[in-house]
């Protein structure tokens, strides 16, 4: 694809959607950690000053307070940079939110390597693996504006905890008018194909789409699945990919160990083994911009294409 698509920062639609939901539902509150700016919550605070609870720089308290607000009948959206939310408050997420089954929506802002040059302390590449380890916690990774809007709305109307990633790295629309753009618990097949399947999440979905277009030019038919829900895993769709195509590539902005690649591999190896290549951000990053880092990790359309060629060569 040569033309440049318009790109969007999902935090903008996230905040707009939350405001619309809060207008309808007085029980929706936001809990954050001095993150009004980075979570794009300024307008929410102006409209609902009492319903934005900023605990300051204190993530354990942030998640505990949210659990308490849920106990008091509210639907708290915890909005914080993903590395600090999931890393610092992991035990609060485990015990107070997931094990207690509170109605807390954990919104990990700016996940993956989206903080670029700020470095590995600020990258959130372990969050998927950590959250996946928790019993029955839905993990949602909307890939574009349309999915973000629908996923946030779904989370607000669902009882129980949810973890979602809201990206800051601008991405083009991958849903392309598909309606609904997000279906809970379902993997979204966005391109049909029968030689190989590319399963991508978040920022990587548009790159997987670009890779599929390149592969088509080479006579390789690539299926693309936008795995916007990582947990629970849509095993029916993954099984079809394993049965109907010869190999599977996974692409994610997180560690593949326990991450999306790990999730798919765990299922595939036990049910219908096929050749796989897991692409992700498996090491602490060197200094560099987001674009540079995605290239460094081989998370580009070209790298996905190269992996596809390699897998199909060996898979024959």
Between 49 and 219, name the residue whose CB sits nearer to other proteins.
49
Between 11 and 51, name the residue whose CB sits nearer to other proteins.
51
Cross-strand pairs, 171: 8
Question: Of 63-71, 276-284, 287-295, 299-307, which segment contacts other proteins by CB under 8 A?
Answer: 63-71
Question: Of 88-96, 150-158, 291-299, 304-312, which segment contacts other proteins by CB under 8 A?
Answer: 88-96
Can residue 29 be called a binding residue for other proteins (CB under 8 A)? yes
Given 30, 52, 64, 79, the residue binding other proteins (CB under 8 A): 64
Q: Residue 175: phi, psi to the nearest 5?
A: -75, -30
Catalytic residue status for 59: yes
Residue 151's SS3 state is helix
Can residue 96 be called a binding residue for other proteins (CB under 8 A)? yes
Handedness of CA 123, 125, 130, 132 (dihedral sign): positive
Q: Which of 131, 93, 127 minimizes the C-alpha distance to 109?
A: 127
Please report, as residue ranges, which positions from 39 to 58 form the binding site for other proteins (by CB under 8 A). 50-51, 53, 55-56, 58
Decide: residue 291, CB within 10 A, 0-12 exposed, 13-18 middle, 19+ buried: exposed
Structure tokens at 173: 């629309």
Q: Which of 117, 118, 92 minimizes the C-alpha distance to 106?
A: 92
Residues 6+ positions from 20 with CB-CB distance below 8 Å: none
Can residue 86 be called a binding residue for other proteins (CB under 8 A)? no
Catalytic residue among 6, 24, 59, 192: 59
- CA 34 – CA 25 distance, rounded (Å): 24
Can residue 73 be called a binding residue for other proteins (CB under 8 A)? yes
Q: Which of 126, 123, 89, 125 minimizes the C-alpha distance to 106?
A: 89
Question: Of 13-21, 90-98, 107-115, 184-192, which segment contacts other proteins by CB under 8 A?
Answer: 90-98
Can residue 158 be called a binding residue for other proteins (CB under 8 A)? no
Instruction: Let me know: does 108 contact 86? Beta carbons within 8 Å.
Output: yes
Can residue 69 be called a binding residue for other proteins (CB under 8 A)? yes
Between 65 and 312, name the residue whose CB sits nearer to other proteins.
65
**Site residues for other proteins per CB under 8 A:** 29, 50-51, 53, 55-56, 58, 60-74, 91-92, 95-96, 99-101
Catalytic positions: 59
């Amino acid at each position: 694809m040569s033309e440049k698509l318009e790109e969007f920062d999902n935090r903008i639609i996230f905040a707009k959607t939350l405001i619309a939901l809060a207008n309808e539902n007085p029980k929706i509150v936001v809990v954050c950690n001095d993150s009004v700016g980075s979570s794009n919550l300024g307008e929410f605070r102006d409209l609902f000053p009492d319903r934005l609870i900023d605990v300051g720089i204190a993530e354990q308290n942030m998640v505990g307070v949210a659990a308490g607000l849920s106990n008091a009948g509210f639907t708290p959206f915890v909005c914080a940079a993903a590395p600090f939310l999931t890393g610092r408050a992991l035990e609060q997420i485990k015990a107070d939110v997931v094990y207690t089954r509170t109605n807390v929506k954990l919104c990990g802002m700016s996940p993956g390597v989206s903080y670029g040059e700020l470095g590995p302390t600020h990258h959130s590449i372990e969050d998927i693996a950590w959250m996946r380890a928790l019993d029955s916690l839905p993990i949602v990774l909307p890939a574009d504006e349309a999915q973000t809007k629908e996923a946030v709305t779904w989370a607000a109307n669902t009882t129980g905890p949810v973890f979602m990633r809201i990206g800051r790295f601008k991405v083009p629309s991958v849903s392309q008018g598909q309606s609904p753009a997000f279906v809970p618990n379902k993997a979204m097949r966005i391109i049909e194909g029968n030689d190989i399947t590319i399963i991508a999440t978040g920022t990587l979905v548009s790159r997987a789409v670009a890779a599929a277009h390149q592969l088509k030019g080479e006579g390789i038919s690539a299926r693309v699945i936008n795995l916007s829900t990582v947990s629970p895993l849509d095993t029916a769709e993954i099984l079809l990919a394993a049965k109907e195509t010869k190999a599977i590539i996974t692409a994610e902005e997180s560690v593949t160990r326990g991450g999306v690649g790990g999730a798919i591999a765990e299922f595939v190896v036990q049910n219908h083994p096929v050749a796989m290549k897991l692409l992700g951000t498996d090491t602490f990053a060197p200094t560099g911009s987001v674009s540079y880092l995605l290239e460094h990790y081989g998370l580009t359309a070209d790298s996905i294409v190269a992996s596809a060629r390699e897998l199909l060569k060996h898979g024959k």
